[in-house]
Structure 1
Amino acid sequence: MTRYTRITGTGSYLPPRRVSNADLVADLATRGIESSDEWIVERTGIRARHFIDEGSEASDLALQASLQALQAAGRQVADVDLIVVATSTPDMVFPSTATILQRKLSEHAQAQGLPGAAGGAAFDVQAVCSGFIYALTVADALIRTGSARCALVLGAEVFSRLLDFNDRGTCVLFGDGAGAVLLEACEHDGSGPALLASDLHADGRHTGILCVPGSLSGGLVRGAPLLRMDGQAVFKLAVGVLEEAARAVLAKAGIEAAAVDWLIPHQANIRIMQGTARKLKLGMDKVIVTVHEHGNTSAASIPLALDHGVRSGQVRPGQLLLLEGVGGGFTWGAVLLRF
């Protein structure tokens, strides 16, 4: 028997404040910037997104998503011996959002008279919108080698704090949220639920097409701390590399694209999602779509979409899922798993 990993629970959380296109258009108008619901929907497929309130952080979103995933898996906080958080919007420079989440999970458990999660490894992964694919792959490797048995893997983002609301080309795209999965060790012949293959890539030559070119120095911000994006360059690269990564994981697993039950892509733009599905000869009826209500939540978008698919009854046990993401760096990757 071979040691595999499988997803045993999923969870997600969106901040309560829903911002519709109409809300955002009205705000832009006060700044003298023209836009419309029709313009945003036609170019992106987005109708609304959720923004976090002041006083809350990425770890707060991650906590709620984690508790849902643990409940779905029938596990307690003390069962978790690894936490990997994919985020580009951490609570602070350091320590990691994962360690802050570990503390908050322990406090939640102890308030109920249960043991906490202290002692297991906890760290962040930074690959922007590909972050959850990277984090899932890293956690899978650690479990397969025996370094952990039960991992919380999350994407958690508060991109609203990185947006330039004078740039209508980017501020309409992004939202906040968190998604989580509980990944556990299992042993079988590979025919049951398991993560089957993964494929990760990066090309630093394209750093400048999607970035937040700022940093801290001497207590001051150095550079520009707001998001910058060359939309056409990102679109051109994204569709091609997503197809390559998808075909790579299918080839590694010896499975044809036609066997995929659900494509769960990074929810960046409906046109990118449609283009990738078309290249794989998959109908949009096989694609989980949440971008219309969530916007682009970066590393959180894939686990948010996965949890939506599970809780809506679309994703069912035994189905074959293809997860894929692309983001700043330039990074991209895919994971194939049987749920």
Structure 2
Amino acid sequence: MTGSKITAIGSYVPAQRLTNTDLEHMVETNDEWIVQRTGIRERRISRQDEFTSDLCVAAVEDLIVRYGKSVQDVDMVIVATSTPDFTFPTVAAIIQHRLGIPMTSGTMDLSAACSGFVYGLHTANSFVASGLHRKVLVIGADTISKITDYTDRSTCILFGDGASAVLVEKSEESSGFLGFHLGSDGSGAQHVYRTALSRSINDIELIDSQMLVQNGREVFRWAIRTVPQGVEQLLMKAETELDQVDWFIPHSANLRIIEPISERMNYSMEKVLYSLVNFGNTSAATIPLALDMGIREGKVQNGQKVLMYGFGAGLTHAGLLVQLDLDQQISDPTPL
């Protein structure tokens, strides 16, 4: 076994903004109601001809420019997404070609909804730490707006589009990955779904819809119970106390979910990073977007311990404790 660490990060969000004021003209809602219930003020929406693969390429290009990295020696590409351009081929295969990554590299999409990026990082660490791979590109990206019903005010106020990419590379010294905890509860699978070949889950008939369907109340109840328990298990495995964690980055589903989770953990909201205020719930992209925002703002520094915890459809959840050791940026990031 060898060590592995995150060495670079890049992000991209579409140019088009969908503000709460814009939504007032689409459904029965208003800015005050949305902010009070979600904390979200606006979100980014992909163009009609802009897809998840496009967001991924732009995020990787941002990483390359900021850190002076090459992807020509990447030997595995993992894309965590619930909104691939196609059922198949994979987004990873599409961007491998577009980015000029060698054909000897492996590519795969990973489907774990809003937990996807953390699952992708965990997988990359396993590949590198085992010695099977040396440099893995992990991307969390979604264009959830393309499967959002903009007549349903309970869901359309939440979601936006975005992508973030990181490189996980071999470390000759120590590993930047300190601990993990994974879990799932398929008994609640019917609470967040989009129908495809089947029309039932757990013997429950579903609404036949190509749009995202969510029972927000049930997801809320599950998340505020499950995440603090998962964090406790993760820290126990990592032999780390919560007060040693510099930053907590939960999935940016809704600020009103994050707040009670942090309260139950007895962890200050001043040390919680989230990306939902200006970008909404970007599914697999929320956690890396929040991490990158913290880095751009100078909050998150090398040597600090960051606890990431994703949760969502499945119902799946996944946490990682990492110690940052990013390479030095050679170029200032462009504003998101």
TM-score of the two chains, using structure 1 as the length reference: 0.90
Which aligned pairs between 1:288-299 and structure 2 lie closer than 5 A? 288-299=273-284
- The aligned counterpart of 2:255 is 270
Q: Find out whether 1:57 has 2:51 as its counterpart.
A: yes
Q: Is 1:181 equivalent to 2:166 in the alignment? A: yes
Residue 157 of structure 1 aligns with which residue? 142
Q: In structure 2, what is the Cα distance between the partners aligned to 1:243 and 1:185? A: 31
Paired residues for 1:254-265 under 5 Å: 254-265=239-250
> Where do residues 244-259 of structure 1 align in structure 2 (5 Å cutoff)?
244-259=229-244
Read off the aligned partner of 2:300 and give its amino acid letter. Answer: V
Contact 1:88 1:128 in 2 (8 A): yes
1:211, distance to aligned residue in structure 2 (A): 0.8
Query: How far is the alpha carbon of 1:25 from its aligned partner?
Result: 1.4
1:120, distance to aligned residue in structure 2 (A): 0.7
Distance 1:58 1:303 in 2: 15
Find the aligned partners of 2:44 and 2:241 in 1 and give their Cα distance: 36
The Cα of 1:270 is off from its aligned counterpart by 0.4
Q: In the alignment, does 2:162 pair up with 1:214?
A: no
Q: Distance in 2 between matches of 1:7 and 1:306?
A: 12
1:216 to partner: Cα distance: 9.4
After TM superposition, the score normalised by the length of structure 2 is 0.91
Q: CA deviation at 1:88?
A: 0.3
Q: Does 1:127 align with 2:126?
A: no
1:205 corresponds to: 187
- Structure 1 position 96 matched with structure 2 position 90: yes
CA-CA distance at 1:118 after TM superposition? 2.4
CA-to-aligned-CA distance 1:98-118 (integer Å, 9 cap, x gap) = 111111111xxxxxxxxx432
Task: Find the aligned partners of 2:158 and 2:96 in 1 and give their Cα distance.
Answer: 30
Task: Name the amino acid aligned to 1:197.
Answer: G
Residues 59-105 of structure 1, C-alpha deviations (whole Å, 9 max, x = no match): 11001111222334432120211110000000101011011111111
Q: Which amino acid aligns with 2:177?
A: L
Find the counterpart in structure 2 of residue 110 from structure 1: none
Contact 1:265 1:273 in 2 (8 A): yes
Q: 2: distance between equivalents of 1:56 and 1:275?
A: 35
Q: Give the aligned CA root-mean-square deviation in angstroms.
A: 1.6
The corresponding residue for 1:31 is none
Residues paired across the two proteins, number: 317
- Greater Cα offset, 208-217 or 93-102: 208-217
Partner of 1:227 in structure 2? 212
**CA–CA distance in 1 between the matches of 2:3 and 2:178?**
8
Matched residue SS, 1:188: coil
The separation in 2 between residues aligned to 1:8 and 1:70, in whole angstroms, is: 11
Structure 2 unaligned residues grouped into runs of 5+? 200-206, 325-336
Task: Provide the residue aligned with 2:333 in structure 1.
Answer: none
Q: Is the 8 A contact 2:274 2:287 kept in 1?
A: no
Residue equivalent to 1:35: 29
Shift in alpha-carbon separation, 1:189–1:15, aligned structure 2, 3 A: closer
Task: Work out whether residues 70 and 182 of structure 1, in 8 Å CA contact, stay in contact via their aligned partners in 2.
Answer: no
Q: 1:92 to 1:328 in 2, by over 3 A?
A: same
Shift of 1:5: 1.3
Aligned CA distance change for structure 1 residues 149 and 73 (closer, same or farther; 3 Å): farther
Distance in 2 (alpha carbons) for counterparts of 1:68 and 1:47: 25
| Runs (5+) with no aligned partner, structure 1 | 29-33, 107-115
Q: Indicate the percent of aligned positions where both proteins have the same amino acid.
A: 40
Aligned to 2:123: 138
